[in-house]
Amino acid sequence: AGKWVKAMEMVKDFEEKCATPLSRLRQVSDAMIVEMQAGLASEGGSKLKMLISYVDSLPTGKEKGLFYALDLGGTNFRVLRLVLGGKGRGIINQQFVEVSIPTSLMTGSSSDELFDFIVAKLAKFVAQEGPDFKPSPCRQRELGFTFSFPVVQTSIASGTLLKWTKGFSINETVGRDVVEELTKAMERHGLDMRVSAMVNDAVGTLAGGRYANNDVVAAVILGTGSNAAYVERADAILKWHGPLPRSGEMVSCSSLIPISEHSIASTSFLWKNRVANGISLKVINMEWGNFKSAHLPLSEYDLELDAESLNPGDQIFEKVMSGMYLGEIVRRVLSWMAKEAAFFGDTVPPKLKVPFILGTPAISAMHQDTSPDLKVVASHIKDIFEITNTSLKIRRVIVQICSIVATRGARLSAAGILSILRNMGCDTITEGEERRTAIAMDGGLYEHYTEYRKCLVNCLNELLGKEVFESVVLELSNDGSGIGAAILAASHSKYI
Ligand code: ADP
Ligand code: MG
């Protein structure tokens, strides 16, 4: 009985350390805004890199033809092809395949081995082009490359890898141009294809989201990792030394010129005014996964996870909210409870000690188990940890731990979104104002983990208040990161 009391104390203590009352979330958001501004002010000025993307013009809707995308996110990569109809006809055909990346290629291998593997799959996919996907005669196939790791770009189709995240660690790739790495692998495979645009997933999702809905001004990724991108005024980016328009001058901010005339009316009031005032805009890749603040609610389990990770001290925000880590946090809590409070009996079940054995899909299945005797929890615990005969009492506690971890993650995501909205001045609304602010959302965590998504949405409502909340639309943009890259390949085609 003493052991059960001890176990309950551990859960309670963990819950307190993960608490995210609104006051705390507002502090997190304040801190994030400070970091955003520091990152915009100078290179290396903040944990938030606030990278200026080279996507200056978003698609117009006139792009036409067959385009490819390669989306390398972390867990899987996807290759897709789109046929764009031109003149506002949108996407008229699309196909994709998804391939999971062998863990041996994520850490043990050489850069060439990783890119050879990817290109082999891409080449196979290209070879299967059917009659609905006719390439234009005498044209090289063009590809948009979504590469979701921190990269400094020097043009729309080149960029140097700053560091790996999300379980990748291939030292020789760091400091290299990943477009060149990809292109060389294509040459090795005799694949005649040109990389026309490289973006990260957040920027790709923003472009894809914008193609579909003109109100989109930001994108958030909640998948293996987490990141966000948004549209920023060039004059607020102190580190930007490119051209700034003179006041009153109309600039080529095609990123904010609506796709169809019809949608002018729906363009957010605020941004429309800024365009009218001749302020040019830039798409900023925040790399928000690397955000860190003393206000983040962290437990000893999070600190331990970080210390034992491939990138200790980095990506702390990502490590408390994204798909790669939520299951692992739960595993660590359970493992300590087994050790310190004999939660699963006198010995610690060996599987409980295996890092990353508990995935976030399992957390989501257990958290959302509605059966009265928590059958789903029982079967997952049995299959994953080889622990049989869990009592209902124990299963309830497991659900509670999943809920604590997911709730904290979802609410911190909401605080991140609040920071973007505040920075754009979209967190207030004047009476009678008709404004829509849309945020394109992509990633397996947001898409599949219903409780997480609901919790995020509810929390955003609490943070913004009903009236402002109703002007904000979170739009699931399924595969938006890949689709966006293909569309950007089209708008940056060498044939236009
Ligand atoms: P990536 O981020 O690698 O581009 P995805 O956007 O597909 O890939 O996201 C994959 C991540 O989404 C997985 O790492 C996993 O954590 C999470 N995920 C996938 N399915 C579920 C699910 N059913 N419940 C919760 N999380 C899920
Ligand atoms: Mg992705």
SS (H, E, C) 95-108: EEEEEECCHHHHHC
List ligand 1's pocket residues with C-beta within 6 A.
Answer: 73-76, 223-225, 323-324, 360-361, 364, 443-445, 448-449
Where in the chain are the domains?
Answer: 55-204+481-491
Confidence of residue 479 (pLDDT cuts 50, 70, 90): confident
pTM of the predicted model, to two decimals? 0.90
* Distance from residue 266's CA to the centre of ligand 1 (Å): 32
Atom of ligand 1 nearest to the CA of 442: 6
- Tens of pLDDT along 376-397? 999 999 999 999 989 999 999 9
Confidence of residue 1 (pLDDT cuts 50, 70, 90): confident
Q: Report, as an integer, the average pLDDT of 345-358.
A: 97
Q: Which ligand is nearest to the CA of 476?
A: 1
- Tens of pLDDT along 200-241? 999 999 999 988 888 999 999 999 999 999 999 888 899 887
Strand 151-155 to 141-147 pairing = unpaired
Q: Specify the range with the lowest mean pLDDT, choosing from 34-48, 136-150, 156-170, 250-264.
A: 250-264
SS3 495: coil
Confidence of residue 5 (pLDDT cuts 50, 70, 90): very high
Mutate to test the pocket of ligand 1, among 220, 320, 448, 453 (most ligand atoms within 8 A of CB): 448
Residue of the CA atom closest to atom 12 of ligand 1: 444
- Tens of pLDDT along 167-212? 999 999 999 999 999 999 999 999 999 999 999 999 999 999 988 8
* Distance from residue 16's CA to the centre of ligand 2 (Å): 32
CATH no. for 55-204+481-491: 3.30.420.40
Residue of the CA atom closest to atom 25 of ligand 1: 361
* Distance from residue 177's CA to the centre of ligand 2 (Å): 20
Q: Specify the range with the lowest mean pLDDT, choosing from 365-374, 422-431, 452-461.
A: 422-431
Q: Which ligand is nearest to the CA of 450?
A: 1
pLDDT, averaged across the chain: 90
- Tens of pLDDT along 257-308? 333 322 222 333 344 444 445 567 889 999 999 999 999 999 999 999 999 9
CA distances from 484 to 48, 64, 121, 331, 487 (A): 23, 14, 20, 35, 5
* Distance from residue 358's CA to the centre of ligand 1 (Å): 13
Atom of ligand 1 nearest to the CA of 78: 4
Q: Does ipTM exceed 0.95?
A: yes
Q: What is the pLDDT of residue 243?
A: 62
Is the Cβ–Cβ distance between 483 and 94 less than 8 Å? yes
Residue of the CA atom closest to atom 24 of ligand 1: 361
pLDDT surpassing 60 at residue 147: yes
